[in-house]
Amino acid sequence: MKPRALLYARVSTADKGQDWHAQIEELERVADQRGWEVVGHYHDTTSGAKASRPGLDAAIARCRRGGVNIFAAVSTDRFARSVLNLLRLVGELEALGVKIAATREGALDTTTPQGRAFLVVRGAFAELERSLRAEGIREGLAIRRARGVKLGRPRGLDYSRLEDAKIHRMSGATWQTIADLYGGTPGAWSRALSRAA
């Protein structure tokens, strides 16, 4: 009988070229290669630091209902926001008989001491990286404020460029590329073109 796998993907934002679909497609290829039967897909578009993630909550609830052997994500930082959170998830899933596969981090078997040790070390480095990044951002903002730089996103769009932006988007340009060309933010152009459609 094939192992039954649940696939989970997360991106931080939808308007900077990130796409959870690519993660799911990658996980489906791995599932096919390893002979897993995919029993569900779940995803979130939110920061990994947020405690409440509807897709992850639904995925864990699905594991609790049974019939799942593997919880798969491309990496542990897609579903765990801290070392303690990672250990709690591993413990809960292990108690349910569900292994964690972080496919870009090698074949992980969380029922072995080596697999658990790797996850803890990986989680510790991911948490350190997030902390250092946040600290660097705070320091950079403080320096810019001290220099009198006005902070915040530009809000206004040049609506006379709407047709140009639409043509660029239809030819495959990302929202970020459109914002770089015409000013404003990727999200603002996405909303403006959706309303104009």
pLDDT digit string (tens) for 20-72? 888 999 999 999 998 999 999 999 887 766 667 888 899 999 999 999 999 99
Same domain, 74 and 168: no
Collapsing DSSP to helix, strand or coil, 18 comes out as coil
Which amino acid would we find at residue 178? I
Predicted local confidence at residue 151, as pLDDT: 67
Q: Is 75 considered catalytic here?
A: no
User: Is the model's pLDDT at 2 over the cut of 70?
Assistant: yes
Contact in structure between 140 and 153 (CB atoms under 8 Å): no
Same domain, 176 and 92: no
Q: What is the dihedral of CA 96, 28, 40, 5, to 10 degrees?
A: -20
pLDDT digit string (tens) for 72-127? 998 877 887 676 777 778 878 888 999 888 888 765 556 467 766 776 776 677 67
Q: What is the dihedral of CA 113, 58, 130, 90, to 10 degrees?
A: -10
Catalytic residue selected from 12, 47, 190, 194? 12
Contact in structure between 50 and 81 (CB atoms under 8 Å): yes
Is pTM, for the whole model, over 0.75?
Answer: no
Same domain, 93 and 23: yes
d(CA 178, CA 190): 9
Q: Is residue 136 part of a domain?
A: no
The sheet carrying 99-102 orders its strands as 37-45, 4-11, 70-73, 99-102
Same domain, 90 and 183: no
